[in-house]
Chain A
Amino acid sequence: MALDGPTPLERFINGILPENPTYRQVLGMCPTLAVTNGMKEAMTMAGAVAFTLICANIVTSLIRGLLKPHLRILVFTLTIAAFVTVADRVLAAFMFEMSGKLGPYIPLIIVNCIIICRCEVCAAKQGVLAATADAVGQSIGFTLGLSSIAVVREIIGNGSLFGFTIIPEAYWPRWGIMLLPPGAFITLGLLMGGFNLLSARSAKKKKAAA
Chain B
Amino acid sequence: MKAKYISQAWLVILLSLSFAGTLAGVDVWLAPRIEANKLAATIDKIPDLVPGADKAASAEAVRAKYSPVPVTVGEGKFKTTYEAFWAMDKSGKPLGWVIKASGQGFADKIELLIGVDAECRTITGLSILSQKETPGLGNKIEEGNEGKPGFLTQFRHGLRADEPLTATTSTPDKGSNKIGAVSGATISSRSVCNIVNDAMSKQLRTALVDALKKGPTSRPVQKE
Interface residues of A (CB under 8 A from B): 37, 63, 66-68, 71, 74-75, 78-79, 81-82, 85-86, 89-90, 92-94, 96-97, 100, 103, 157, 176-177, 179-180
A68's nearest neighbour on chain B, judged by CB, is B8
Q: Tell me if B30 and A176 are in contact (CB < 8 A).
A: no
Instruction: State A94–B12 Cα separation when bound (angstroms).
Output: 31
**B207 → chain A closest CB, angstroms:** 30
Interface class of chain B by DSSP? helix
User: Which stretch (B21-29, B98-106, B192-200, B215-223) binds chain A?
Assistant: B21-29
**A51 → chain B closest CB, angstroms:** 13
Instruction: State A177–B15 Cα separation when bound (angstroms).
Output: 45
Instruction: State A68–B8 Cα separation when bound (angstroms).
Output: 7
Q: Tell me if A96 and B41 are in contact (CB < 8 A).
A: yes
List, in ascending order, chain B residues with CB within 8 A of A79's CB.
Answer: 15, 19
Instruction: State A180–B133 Cα separation when bound (angstroms).
Output: 11
Among all A-B residue pairs, the 9 with the closest Cβ atoms: A82-B19, A96-B37, A93-B30, A176-B136, A93-B33, A92-B34, A179-B136, A89-B30, A93-B34
Q: Tell me if A179 and B135 are in contact (CB < 8 A).
A: yes
- Is there a chain A Cβ closer than 8 Å to B130's Cβ? yes
Instruction: State A185–B13 Cα separation when bound (angstroms).
Output: 41
- Is there a chain A Cβ closer than 8 Å to B202's Cβ? no
- Is there a chain A Cβ closer than 8 Å to B16's Cβ? yes
Q: State whether A86 and B23 are in contact (beta carbons under 8 Å apart), knowing that A63-B11, A79-B15, A96-B41 are contacts in the complex.
A: yes
- Of the residues A68, A82, A176, contact of B23 by C-beta under 8 Å: A82
Q: Tell me if B37 and A78 are in contact (CB < 8 A).
A: no
**B80 → chain A closest CB, angstroms:** 23
- Of the residues B11, B19, B136, contact of A177 by C-beta under 8 Å: B136
- Is there a chain A Cβ closer than 8 Å to B134's Cβ? yes
List, in ascending order, chain A residues with CB within 8 A of B6's CB.
Answer: none
List, in ascending order, chain B residues with CB within 8 A of A97's CB.
Answer: 41
List, in ascending order, chain A residues with CB within 8 A of B15's CB.
Answer: 63, 75, 78-79
Q: Tell me if B12 and A92 are in contact (CB < 8 A).
A: no
A37's nearest neighbour on chain B, judged by CB, is B135
**B8 → chain A closest CB, angstroms:** 6
A-B contact pairs, 5 of them (CB 8 A): A67-B11, A68-B8, A78-B12, A79-B19, A89-B34
Instruction: State A81–B15 Cα separation when bound (angstroms).
Output: 12
- Of the residues A71, A82, A176, contact of B8 by C-beta under 8 Å: A71
List, in ascending order, chain A residues with CB within 8 A of B90's CB.
Answer: none
